[in-house]
Amino acid sequence: MVEKIHILDRDFALSISSEIIQEKVKAVADKLNKDYAGKNPVMVCILNGAFVFAADLVRYINTFQPEILFVRFASYDGVKSTGNVRELMGLNANLEGRDVIIVEDIVDTGTTMKNILPLFESKGASNIAICSFLLKPDKFKVDLNIDYVAMEIPNDFIVGYGLDYNGFGRNYRDIYKVLD
Binding site for Mg ion (CB under 5 A): 49, 105
Question: Is 108 considered catalytic here?
Answer: yes
Q: Which of 112, 116, 125, 150 binds ligand 5GP (CB under 6 A)?
A: 112
Question: Measured from the CB of residue 14, what is the shortest distance to Mg ion in angstroms?
Answer: 22
Q: Are 105 and 76 in contact (CB under 8 A)?
A: no
User: 48: cis peptide before it, omega within 30°?
Assistant: yes
Select from 120, 146, 118 the least CA-distant residue to 132.
146
Alpha carbons 100 and 64: distance in angstroms, whole number:
13
Q: Which of residues 80-99 bind ligand 5GP (CB under 6 A)?
A: 81
Choose, from 108, 143, 156, 180, the residue flagged as catalytic: 108
Tell me: does residue 49 bind ligand 5GP (CB under 6 A): yes
**Helix 51-58 crosses helix 18-35 at what angle (to 10 degrees)?**
60
Q: Which residues does the annotation mark as catalytic?
A: 108
* Chain residues that interact with ligand 5GP, rule: CB under 6 A: 49, 75-76, 81, 104-112, 157-159, 163-164
